[in-house]
Amino acid sequence: MLQFVPDPVQALRELLRVLKPGGYACVSGMDDGLRITWPPPSPALARLVDVVADLQHEDGGDRHIGRKLTTYLRSAGFGINSIVVLPKAQHRLVDRDDNERALILEQLHAARLRVLAAGTGDVDSFDLDLAGLESEEPFEEFRLSARLVVLAQRPIA
């Protein structure tokens, strides 16, 4: 959730405020920099992801929040008890029956007007890349990603 919040430190300060002294918060976040795929994403998908990331950034979001969690938690007043990196590996066939592919395409179609209104992309390039993505041949994909989980504590005094 923090990757979509314009001021994550303020959100964490509110979390700190409602926790009792000595209380714990378990905060988790993804980070696009911790994602590896083979084969690499198609140029069309890479451009579309960049455009949507720019839109998220314009809205105050941050797709690299995972690496900043401890800094933000400390800035909000938390102590850090532990940090865990949870890796996830996946091998799948990406084809027309793939639910994740269908969801990504649906999200891109839904984001189209917002992307164009924000000026983070132009209609011809976006539509051309989206059509290219929709017509990609099936392929096997290996994906490695990770989620960062931080256990933080509100100080007692």
Q: What is the pLDDT of residues 126-143, one digit of tens each?
A: 999 999 999 999 999 999
pLDDT band at 106 (very low <50, low <70, confident <90, very high): very high
Helices vs. strands in the chain: H and E counts, helices first? 5, 4
pLDDT in tens, 39-81: 999 999 988 888 888 888 888 888 889 999 999 999 999 999 9
The CA distance from 98 to 131, in Å, is 17
φ, ψ (nearest 5 deg) of residue 73: -65, -45
Name the phi and psi angles at 56, rounded to 5.
-60, -40
Closest CA to 139 of 91, 89, 94: 94
Is the confidence at residue 113, as pLDDT, over 80?
A: yes
- If one counts every other C-beta atom within 10 angstroms of the C-beta of residue 60, the result is 11
pTM to 2 decimals?
0.81
Say what the pLDDT of residue 50 is: 86
Q: 86 versus 56: which is more confidently predicted?
A: 86
**Any idea what DSSP says for residue 74?**
H
- How confident is the model at residue 11, as a pLDDT? 96
pLDDT, position 157: 79
Residue 109: burial class (beta carbons within 10 Å; 0-12, 13-18, 19+):
exposed
For tokens 């969801």, name the residue.
103
- Summary mean pLDDT of the chain: 91
- Is pLDDT of 31 > 90? no
